Amino acid sequence: MCKKTIVAFLGVIIVAPFLYLKIPAYLLKSVGINQETHPYSMRVVNEYFEPLDRTFRKRGPSFLALFFLLEQKAAKGQKEFLIVETGSLRAEPINMPEDGASTVLFDNFLRSYKGELHTVDLDPKCKDIIEKHCSYSTIVHTGDSVEFLENFKRAEYIDILYLDSYDLNWDNPEPSAEHHLKEIKAVFHKLKPGAIIIVDDNFEHNGKLIGKGYLVEKFLKEKGIPLIYDGYQKVFQIVPQPEDLEKIDQILHLVSSRTMKFFFKIKKYVNKICALV
């Protein structure tokens, strides 16, 4: 082998990992996500956001938008966060593709930031499961979600209200949608500007849009609350900041672009190779 080929070969070996590590981080930085100011959004992109993998795909963009918005608040000086979730982590092993594992994602966020997650579920078994997988920042309540929200004392401080209780029956979606409507009605009047509301499990079935959130959407629309992301999860924000929405558009555009998909693909292969050695 001639000297030039050896130098080129060594060049590729040395430069490739550098490009692989640096380019995605550089691209994310260009749309406002960087390790210093948005570490958890970065983690969501690196660990959970995987457009090539169905595990997280349907909830990836909305979770990314959501954690980005929380970290925007942190960047502006907010020190503590209050997250309220209806429908808790219920399965072991953790069933991310089906349930979303939102309880774990919120708890992980609160391992880096101060605050509390209050999660409520009818099923008392959730408490044991959550105690195994979550930190002291997560407070588990057992009971009906509507009653819980009606009596929740600090509703005016809620940053995230995540609605994911009463399971959806695809052939009869109304009871679930009505339950989630009751949840939002129980607490809406107390929510502050900037509060984010998310409803899980919305999709098309037999050519019809169904899910937990369509009645919540109608209710919030009547109140003038904008839907800032519409997909498998519906995300609303009370008085969103236009500059944040612009950034979210750019971020979601980037992470679903061909360039990023290329890097996600490389990462997948690198991980596979690393698992073999």
| Residue pair 138/102 in contact by the 8 Å Cβ criterion | no
Region of 8-16, 83-91, 184-192, 239-247 interacting with ligand SAM (CB under 6 A)? 83-91
Task: Kindly tell me which of 62 and 145 has the beta carbon lying closer to ligand SAM.
Answer: 145
* Type of residue numbered 269: Y
Residue 227 φ/ψ, nearest 5 degrees: -85, 115
- Least Å distance between CB 241 and ligand SAM? 27
Among residues 162, 140, 77, 152, the alpha carbon closest in space to that of 114 is found at: 77
Q: Is 134 in the site for ligand SAM (CB under 6 A)?
A: no
Residue 141 φ/ψ, nearest 5 degrees: -120, 140
- Least Å distance between CB 153 and ligand SAM? 18
CA distance 216 to 266: 40
CA distance 148 to 120: 7
| Residue pair 247/31 in contact by the 8 Å Cβ criterion | yes
Region of 46-54, 85-93, 186-194, 246-254 interacting with ligand SAM (CB under 6 A)? 85-93
Among residues 189, 194, 176, 203, the alpha carbon closest in space to that of 76 is found at: 194
- Least Å distance between CB 239 and ligand SAM? 26
Q: Is 167 in the site for ligand SAM (CB under 6 A)?
A: yes
Q: Is 178 in the site for ligand SAM (CB under 6 A)?
A: no
CA 66 to chain centroid: 6
Contacts for 176 with CB less than 8 Å, ≥ 6 apart: 166, 167, 168, 169, 212
Q: Is 89 in the site for ligand SAM (CB under 6 A)?
A: yes
Q: Is 174 in the site for ligand SAM (CB under 6 A)?
A: no
Q: What is the three-class DSSP state of 121?
A: strand
Q: Is 213 in the site for ligand SAM (CB under 6 A)?
A: no
Region of 68-76, 101-109, 189-197, 262-270 interacting with ligand SAM (CB under 6 A)? 101-109
Binding mask 102-121 for ligand SAM (x = CB under 6 A): xx----------------xx
What does the DSSP 8-state code read for residue 241?
A: -
CA distance 246 to 141: 36
Task: Kindly tell me which of 28 and 134 has the beta carbon lying closer to ligand SAM.
Answer: 134
Region of 14-22, 69-77, 84-92, 202-210 interacting with ligand SAM (CB under 6 A)? 84-92
Task: Kindly tell me which of 28 and 126 has the beta carbon lying closer to ligand SAM.
Answer: 126
Among residues 181, 151, 155, the alpha carbon closest in space to that of 166 is found at: 181
Binding mask 27-66 for ligand SAM (x = CB under 6 A): ----------------------------------------
Q: Is 166 in the site for ligand SAM (CB under 6 A)?
A: yes
Q: Which chain residues interact with ligand SAM by CB under 6 A? A: 86-90, 99-103, 120-123, 144-145, 164-167
